[in-house]
Structure 1
Amino acid sequence: MTSDGSDATGPEQLALVPESTSPRKRAAKAKPALEAAANLPVAQVAVDTGLSHLDRPFDYLVPATLDELVVVGCRVKVRFAGRLVDGFVTDRVDGTEHEGKLAFVAKVVSAEPVLRPDVLELAQTVADRYAGTLGDVLRMAIPPRHARAEASVREPAAGELPALDDAIWRTHTHGPEFLSAIAAGASPRAWWGAMPGQDPARAIAQAVLAALHSGRGSIVCVPDVRDVARWDTAFTEVLGAGQHVVLTAASTPAARYAAFLAVSRGHVKVVLGTRAAAFAPVHELGLVAMWDDGDDLYAEPRAPYPHAREVLLLRAAASSTALLIGGYARTAEGQSLVESGWCTELIAEQSTRRTAWPRLEVTDGSTAGSAPARLPQEVFRSVRAAKGAVLMQVPRRGYRESLSCQECRHPARCTACQGPLVQTSASAPIACRWCATAVPNWSCSHCEGTKLRAPVVGQLRTAEEFAKAFPELQVVTSGGDTILDDVEPGRVLVLATPGAEPHVSGGYDVIVLLDTWLMTGRDDIRVEEEAHRRWFNALALAGPGASAIAVGDAAILQALVRSDPAGFAARELASRAETHLPPTARLATVDAADDVLAELATRTWTPNTEVLGPVPVDPRDDQAGQRLILRAPRREGTQLAAGLKTAAAERSAAKQPALRIQVDPQSL
């Protein structure tokens, strides 16, 4: 008590800790609980995880607020392992087998159904065929979204279809019947042997037109964008404007997605494109076609590395569509389909073929027992006698791409890094291809010689030599970064690397194949097939009555002399069967560290799988790693791929480095 009788502990006494004067924080409002859609509340989503052991659809609840937007085939965002990831809705169902609590679909990126069920089934089949994941295949099949293109609307093509014209196909046995069968709604399958003087773009366009007459769509694949540009013009002339779209990765994102949507929405039924077009979502697909299937551009460089030809074959088998694959040459895979009876053969009579192809003379340049010459006199005589354009195919681009000692023939090497020495032009110094070190005063480390020779000469050096020999001719080159699409007819000499040969109206008067030994000198399982494909493609540019010369070994070039690509393909297929190589067997390569491959080599993959290796991926590079090769009979290919997928999933689940798996690679 105080002196005045008041209580010392009363309210008048100062508090030891003052009360806070700050405003009280508002309590956070609880988010309203999401409710699942009343009808088909579970969405099955193909989540793009990039992980092999999670390569399966996952179930998510569909919020009632997104019920109308979550449609089969649309893009969504879902929460996976604590983060938002992309995915495609593959189905909507009543329930789930998942025992735990399901998360909700977080967001609908677009309600556009870009993944059709038939494309999903194809993508899964391709993933299983090549021991890959569905997500990797879908990235190839569906282009990235472009909102502005999605908002635009393309009107369906209108007007009557042109009448069929089977004139090009009359020169081939059963050609008109093939076209008639497609127009009647049937699904014939054929391997077509094209000939010079016929435009393959117009021929295949007539087959596409036949499919349109039957009310069905088509997919046509060509090797590269240069071909697409040429074929696009032909398709427009044959089919009419607006009847097809072009689908290539080289297009702008907006143009590519707009073309994809035009097909997906059913506004256009014909797709022309490169390898990615094989997955195009064409409505009522009736025909899949491919030109020059041996081109390595059809092999996808991204995992799981599918080949467009195999994608189209899988699609033709699953959808029971017509199939047309053609080329001037024929691959072993094509011959295998013909011999098995799965495809018929569309070729002209032998007399017609021999007349259409240019008469070929083979020479090694030697006379009276002399040494072979790179530029024989026969070549110079043919160039002088030519009245029109001359095509000279040179296997290597550049100037002097390989140098060696003139005395002992030992390869010339850089003293700094032991790299090969080259010369890029007449005025350029001798320098190393690897480290670019200039070597002005070179001497051979073996015989101390100081003179260099060029065993391998590029098209620039060859053009320089012919420009001096024929000053009256216009000499042009095509290859590397400078590729010509067309050349004006006249007295012109064109030197081109394989695949870069320009077209000339009316065809070439003379065609020369130089350094054919270089084309077959590589160590590769497809080297002879690829060389013959390049040679036949060059010879097919000949005009009526043209002549051709090949500098090389007549024994190797007999298929060119006889104008018989099918005969060469039959021999190549028989050789593959003897060595158990694709397409008669299934081959897979696995790249990984040494200890990983040692464990994989001890596994039992299939009852008859041969395990080869491990071997260095690149014997010239010690850091390139090791490779295991697995070889199995074709009938065990599915089982082998499944085993490889299991091995990849095991490492993915254990968070170990991924395996690099390739099934039926183009090269080893």
Structure 2
Amino acid sequence: MSGENGQDQRRAGQEAPGGEQLALIRATVRKTRAKPRTWHGAALAEGLPVARVLVDKGLLHLDQFFDYAVPAAMDAEARPGVRVRVRFGARVVGGRREGGTLHDGFIVERRTDSDYAGPLAPLAQVLSAEPVLAPPLLALCRRVADRYAGALADVVQLAVPPRMARAERKPSPEPLPYPPAPEPGSWTRYGTGPAYLQALGRGDTPRAVWLALPGPHWPRELALAMAATLAAGRGALAVLPDGRSAARVDAALTEAIGAGHHVMLTADAGPEQRYQRWLSVSRGAVRAVIGTRAAMFAPVADLGLVALWDDGDSSHAEPHAPQPHARDVLLLRAREERTAFLLGGITSTVEGAQLVDSGWALPLAASRDEVRAAAPLIRTVGDGDQARDEAARAARLPSLAWQVTKEALTRGPVLVQVPRRGYVPRLACDRCREPARCSACAGPLELREQTGTPHCGWCGRPAADWHCQECGGFRLRAQVVGARRTAEELGRAFPRVPVRTSGRDAVLATVGAAPALVIATPGAEPVADEGYAAALLLDGWALLNRPDLRAGEEALRRWALAAALVRPAAENGTVVVLAEATLRPVQALVRWDPAGHAVRELAERAELRFPPVARMASVTGTPAAVADFMELVRLPAGTDLLGPVPLPVAGPSGAGRGRAGAPTPPPGEMWERLLLRVPPGAGAALAAALKEAQVQRVTRGAVEPTFIRIDPPDIG
């Protein structure tokens, strides 16, 4: 087995199809050709007796392929791409390998010989004869691992779902004939929309950043783009941020071309059903996929279109190592597999604006007349106006919002977006306004119900005897009001109207057309059958005041997604946003100009040399670990160092994961984070340098780990 005892360690990707040649971990490698034919009396396969295996270890210093002997009994099943079990970590005793532990892996290649001079251990077992890691998927995983300075085995674990033997025994359906080209439908509302569909129907590879109009039509429009690609005899892939939006596109595509042409890959299907659907794609029986984040690796045959909806949603960022983003993976696939590309959303991210600005993709948007016809009326109420309004003190509704809600409830449901869940998720001293903290762990105090005792949001301890450490006060007040408290207050203000809530504990998919108050947290807003008559966007300051570079972009995205569910202004659809009217995100919402907001944000990022104009990486760990890492790393020329700065201490539950998987220090331990910034074009060199330094730390036996994140989403 090549490299198990450290004699010749070869980096993963050296032999991968399309992979880059990487530097050797060791300076010297013996390359004596050995052709094993027997293994202590057991016959080995003839012709190609060596199997090169990717062992599922997920360790950077073992990010390479290993050679194993193929027993003759396994010759027929041990094909490239199949799952196997191998013995890893064995020692050579008396000319044979003994010991070691069994690990899963994938055969990536069959060979006539091996670079390893010693005896090769045989494959322990072929787990399945199903080739699940085909060369194109392996090459994609290699590119993703290189881009994010990660291990190939970690990426393969994200790309290939766990095996379900019963699903493998079931036959996949026969492929259906390709459907006919669809009519453009509501794509005619976009100037270049019909031309984009025609290009897909011809088998071309158009690339577009699509700014969708508000309203219920975008799922069918995305489905029509997939249908046009299928009509050209090519496959299509669409990635959505959650199961609810994926289900809407799934229903739209089924209505457009019928059942059997596509599958939906989401966690809701369950492991076995999801694996069975994945196999139907891998076997070429199904040519179109709709799914959530993990579907970005779906092995669609002859892929012709990759589409991503709402790339600003944090659900598209994978929390597991090496934490790839669905947008970047689909961009890699579009470039390498030469497919069409469609990045769509109600709003535009800065990354989408950069794709247009660079000329790599073209804008796909409607005219201002179409925007005015589809968008609701946006009205603003500033925080100062709300503070002076007596009505706001009783039910958190200024007079304008109360009047709009009262009138809209005569025509249909009203959506109320509240940034925070719970009852009162943050409390403060009533006298000095200092945030209330737990005396045991300094966690924030919260109120879970109206008459309950305050509890710590970190350790859960009750704080019945709380007193302020600053002024000695004993009375508490609400610093932030959650969705449950809002629902209670609005229920008292409108006692004859049903109140429904949608949040993390229970997310509603749809609501009817009858008058009702729907209280929802961002991202959990249900779709109304005939659109909402009005929407209230409460506590705008909670979204805008976050210490994050993307705070304004994220606030506009969440507001626009909620407002897009409201009826057009021509049908008296109205949205009231409670935030300072002069702020840029609020003005962009009033004008319904998310593209202009993204362009201005991109210009500021370019001036400050922040992503996506520049590439960045973060190095996180204890001060000693970060300093040791920086002594080893050989950064590319022009790298800027920002920091290091201390990180906030985690709650008493221990080290955890923050936004999009960002590491947080354990209690009582000081961590810091260093940001590395390189100019455009140097991102690959930065990732390679960081990976090499991580390998050196591990091989030297470093005890304290460092965490590397390429393109961290939170750099504020």
Distance 1:285 1:409 in 2: 57
The AA in structure 1 aligned to 2:84 is V
Matched, 1:62 2:70: yes
CA displacement at 1:136 relative to structure 2:
0.2
Asked if the contact 1:45/1:89 (under 8 Å) is kept, the reply is: yes
The residue aligned with 1:589 is 618
Alignment of 1:286-325 (within 5 A): 286-325=304-343
**Counterpart of 1:543 in 2: which secondary structure?**
coil
Matched, 1:116 2:134: yes
Asked if the contact 1:525/1:667 (under 8 Å) is kept, the reply is: yes
Asked if the contact 2:63/2:152 (under 8 Å) is kept, the reply is: yes
Asked if the contact 1:41/1:92 (under 8 Å) is kept, the reply is: yes
Structure 1 range deviating more: 393-402 or 328-337: 393-402
Instruction: Tell me which of 54, 61, 67 is aligned to 1:53.
Output: 61
The residue aligned with 2:702 is 656
**Counterpart of 2:124 in 1: which secondary structure?**
strand
The residue aligned with 2:688 is 642
Distance 1:593 1:280 in 2: 38
CA displacement at 1:45 relative to structure 2:
1.4
The residue aligned with 2:405 is 383
Distance 2:354 2:557 in 1: 17
Distance 1:123 1:435 in 2: 40
Matched, 1:283 2:301: yes
Distance 1:331 1:165 in 2: 29
CA displacement at 1:439 relative to structure 2:
4.0
Calculate the TM-score normalised by the size of structure 1.
0.91
CA displacement at 1:245 relative to structure 2:
1.1
Asked if the contact 1:364/1:376 (under 8 Å) is kept, the reply is: no
The AA in structure 2 aligned to 1:578 is E
Largest Rg, 1 or 2: 1
CA displacement at 1:273 relative to structure 2:
0.9
The AA in structure 2 aligned to 1:49 is K
Label 1:616 to 1:366 Cα distance change in 2 as closer, same or farther (>3 A).
closer
The residue aligned with 2:354 is 336
Distance 1:306 1:661 in 2: 12
Distance 1:527 1:369 in 2: 23
Structure 1 range deviating more: 64-73 or 247-256: 247-256
Label 1:441 to 1:205 Cα distance change in 2 as closer, same or farther (>3 A).
same
Alignment of 1:129-278 (within 5 A): 129-158=147-176, 161-278=179-296
**Counterpart of 2:452 in 1: which secondary structure?**
coil
CA displacement at 1:158 relative to structure 2:
3.1
Matched, 1:547 2:574: yes
The residue aligned with 2:51 is 43
Asked if the contact 1:512/1:548 (under 8 Å) is kept, the reply is: yes
The AA in structure 2 aligned to 1:88 is F
Matched, 1:353 2:371: yes
The residue aligned with 2:424 is 400
Distance 1:563 1:363 in 2: 17
Instruction: Tell me which of 585, 594, 599 is aligned to 1:565.
Output: 594
Structure 1 range deviating more: 637-646 or 98-107: 98-107
The residue aligned with 1:471 is 495
**Counterpart of 1:477 in 2: which secondary structure?**
strand
Asked if the contact 1:48/1:135 (under 8 Å) is kept, the reply is: yes
CA displacement at 1:108 relative to structure 2:
1.3
Calculate the TM-score normalised by the size of structure 2.
0.85
Structure 1 range deviating more: 396-405 or 35-44: 35-44
CA displacement at 1:258 relative to structure 2:
0.6
Distance 1:417 1:322 in 2: 52
CA displacement at 1:614 relative to structure 2:
2.8
Distance 2:222 2:431 in 1: 55
**Counterpart of 1:56 in 2: which secondary structure?**
coil
Distance 1:137 1:637 in 2: 19
- Aligned Cα root-mean-square deviation (Å): 2.1
Label 1:368 to 1:255 Cα distance change in 2 as closer, same or farther (>3 A).
closer
Asked if the contact 2:175/2:284 (under 8 Å) is kept, the reply is: no
**Counterpart of 1:323 in 2: which secondary structure?**
strand
The residue aligned with 1:627 is 673
Identity across aligned pairs (percent)?
A: 46
CA displacement at 1:38 relative to structure 2:
2.7
Instruction: Tell me which of 57, 72, 83 is aligned to 1:75.
Output: 83
The residue aligned with 1:26 is none
**Counterpart of 1:105 in 2: which secondary structure?**
coil
Asked if the contact 1:601/1:611 (under 8 Å) is kept, the reply is: no
The residue aligned with 2:659 is none
Q: How many residues end up aligned between the 2 structures?
A: 639
The AA in structure 2 aligned to 1:486 is T
Asked if the contact 1:365/1:375 (under 8 Å) is kept, the reply is: no
Alignment of 1:592-603 (within 5 A): 592-602=621-631, 603=633
CA displacement at 1:85 relative to structure 2:
1.9
Label 1:604 to 1:653 Cα distance change in 2 as closer, same or farther (>3 A).
closer
Label 1:537 to 1:646 Cα distance change in 2 as closer, same or farther (>3 A).
same
CA displacement at 1:155 relative to structure 2:
1.5
The residue aligned with 1:6 is none
Structure 1 range deviating more: 441-450 or 130-139: 441-450
Unaligned runs of 5+ in 1: 1-29
CA displacement at 1:563 relative to structure 2:
0.3
Structure 1 range deviating more: 332-341 or 70-79: 70-79
Per-residue deviation, residues 196-232 of structure 1 (Å, max 9, x unmatched): 2242221111111111111111111111122223332
Distance 1:62 1:187 in 2: 42
The AA in structure 1 aligned to 2:554 is E
Label 1:440 to 1:660 Cα distance change in 2 as closer, same or farther (>3 A).
closer
The AA in structure 1 aligned to 2:215 is G
The residue aligned with 1:17 is none
Per-residue deviation, residues 472-507 of structure 1 (Å, max 9, x unmatched): 211211113021111111211111111111111111
The AA in structure 2 aligned to 1:535 is W
CA displacement at 1:443 relative to structure 2:
4.7
The residue aligned with 1:19 is none
Matched, 1:486 2:510: yes
Label 1:94 to 1:561 Cα distance change in 2 as closer, same or farther (>3 A).
same
CA displacement at 1:47 relative to structure 2:
1.6
Asked if the contact 1:389/1:493 (under 8 Å) is kept, the reply is: yes
The residue aligned with 1:528 is 552
CA displacement at 1:97 relative to structure 2:
3.0
